[in-house]
Amino acid sequence: MASQDWFDKDFYKVLGVSKDISDAELKKAYRKLARQYHPDSNQGDAKAESRFKEISEAYSVLSDAEQRKEYDQIRAMGSGARFTAGGGGQGGGFEDVFGGMFGQGGGGARGQSYSYQQAPGGFDDILGGMFGRGGGGFGAYGPTRGRDVTARTTIDFITAVKGDTIKLQTADGKPITVKIPAGVADQQKIKLRGKGEPSPDGGEPGDIVLTVSVRKHPVFERDGLNLRVNVPVTFVEATLGATIEVPTLGGAPVKLKVAAGTPSGRILRVKGRGVESSKGKGDLLAVVQVAVPSHLTPAQREALEAFHAVEPAENPRTELLAKARE
């Protein structure tokens, strides 16, 4: 049904298009303007709100073949043409929709009423696709998403490295199952989709944003995707060389060869025995630490002094002192 004031409104000018524009180009022009002036992007801007209503009204008429034909005929008749307002104050019309959205009464700003037709690919579908809502009616921006909830949990070091499924309890006592991915880092956040607060009006529930704290391990520590472990060796093993056992996380020890003359701090690498995650696989880094005996028997001390008498006459701090003077 035609509106009483169609003659006074140039819908083509409102949308900035020509009268012979195609349906596809009309839709494209509308989408651009609606995105620019939509209230979601112009909070508190009354002018933008008014402009958006004009754009929406124009497109609702021109996008409908029957209404567009009727509108063109009215505009072609010239001055003096007036028509009875359509809708008769019935609910569910176009003005009712915008009245609900912008807080107006069902009669509109000047008492006019409009017809509104919901059709596949039409006005409602376009806004639904543009602003992320389903096609279930234009409404006041669609159902509200539930609020996100923040939470924290602490897990063992091995759980963080290897990954596991754990059980937690929400604030209201509801148990939930959480999959901890392999390689999760300390203070990393995991999003549990749909586990937050429910929507108050039938929309999607919110998420739980879970911050993970990782307990320290008494032996291993993370170095990116690598695992570090300090491995003590005796003075004799470091000097003469030896084959030693090195622990691995959650597995059997591995044997490593310590070359003769290995200094404290040298890193021995075990390929593929570090952290394995979606980002790759790390190594186990065994850091050699030469252990100094804290107690010696008289015989041991005598033997050590005998070695000292014949050891190479070199000062291990010579290079350090030289660099310090540079």
Q: Is residue 23 domain-shared with residue 78, that is, in the same domain?
A: yes
Calculate ∠ Cα 161-163-166, nearest 5°.
130
Q: Is residue 80 domain-shared with residue 169, that is, in the same domain?
A: no
Q: Averaged over 100-105, what is the pLDDT? A: 41
User: Would you say residue 264 lies in a domain?
Assistant: yes
Q: Work out how many domains the chain is built from and give that number.
A: 3
Task: Report DSSP state, residue 245.
Answer: E
Q: Which residues pair with 192 in a beta bridge?
A: 208
User: Any idea what the CATH number is for the domain that residue 62 is in?
Assistant: 1.10.287.110
Q: Is residue 232 domain-shared with residue 278, that is, in the same domain?
A: yes
pLDDT in tens, 48-81: 888 988 888 888 889 888 888 888 887 776 544 3
How does DSSP assign 273-291, residue by residue?
A: -S-EETTEE--EEEEEEEE
User: Would you say residue 166 lies in a domain?
Assistant: yes
User: Would you say residue 172 lies in a domain?
Assistant: yes
Written as six digits, the tokens of 261 are: 């003359």
What is the chain's mean pLDDT, rounded? 80
pLDDT in tens, 157-186: 999 999 999 999 887 788 999 999 999 999
* Residues recorded for the chain: 326
Please check the confidence at residue 200 and state whether its pLDDT lies above 70.
yes
| Residue ranges in the chain assigned as alpha helix (H) | 11-15, 23-37, 46-62, 65-77, 94-102, 123-130, 157-162, 235-240, 298-310, 318-324
Cβ-contact 99, 30 below 8 angstroms: no
Cβ-contact 180, 277 below 8 angstroms: no
Cα–Cα distances in Å, from 41 out to 49, 52, 136? 10, 11, 22
Q: Is residue 155 domain-shared with residue 66, that is, in the same domain?
A: no
Q: Is residue 88 domain-shared with residue 33, that is, in the same domain?
A: yes
Q: Averaged over 222-240, what is the pLDDT? A: 95
pLDDT at res. 141? 58
Chosen domain end from 193, 214, 235 = 214
Q: Tell whether pTM > 0.85.
A: no
Q: Is residue 301 domain-shared with residue 206, that is, in the same domain?
A: no
**Crossing angle between the packed helical segments 94-102 and 46-62, to the nearest 10 degrees:** 160
Confidence of residue 102 (pLDDT cuts 50, 70, 90): very low
pLDDT in tens, 5-43: 676 788 899 999 999 999 989 989 988 898 888 877 788
Q: Averaged over 228-234, what is the pLDDT? A: 96
User: Where in the sequence is the domain holding 70, given as residue range(s)?
Assistant: 6-130
Chosen domain end from 214, 239, 254 = 214
User: Would you say residue 139 lies in a domain?
Assistant: no
Please check the confidence at residue 284 and state whether its pLDDT lies above 90.
yes
Chosen domain end from 130, 158, 186 = 130
User: Would you say residue 120 lies in a domain?
Assistant: yes
Phi and psi (nearest 5°) for 153? -150, 155
User: Would you say residue 87 lies in a domain?
Assistant: yes
Q: Is residue 274 domain-shared with residue 227, that is, in the same domain?
A: yes
Phi and psi (nearest 5°) for 166? -120, 165
pLDDT at res. 83? 39
Please check the confidence at residue 207 and state whether its pLDDT lies above 50.
yes
pLDDT in tens, 114-172: 333 333 344 444 444 444 444 443 444 578 899 999 999 999 999 999 999 999 988 77
The closest of 94, 74, 93 to 84, measured between CA atoms, is 74
Q: Averaged over 269-279, what is the pLDDT? A: 92
pLDDT at res. 31? 87
Residues 6+ apart with CB under 8 A from 23: 63
Give the number of other Cβ atoms within 10 Å of residue 204's Cβ: 14
Which helix (H) or strand (E) segment holds residue 192: the answer is strand 188-192
pLDDT at res. 269? 96
Q: Is residue 58 domain-shared with residue 154, that is, in the same domain?
A: no
Q: Is residue 172 domain-shared with residue 233, that is, in the same domain?
A: no
Cβ-contact 212, 157 below 8 angstroms: no
Percentage of the chain surpassing pLDDT 70?
A: 78
User: Would you say residue 136 lies in a domain?
Assistant: no
Q: How far apart are CA 3 and CA 75, in angstroms?
A: 12
User: Would you say residue 11 lies in a domain?
Assistant: yes
User: Any idea what the CATH number is for the domain that residue 199 is in?
Assistant: 2.60.260.20
Please check the confidence at residue 105 and state whether its pLDDT lies above 70.
no
pLDDT at res. 5? 64
Q: How far apart are CA 57 and CA 30, in angstroms?
A: 11
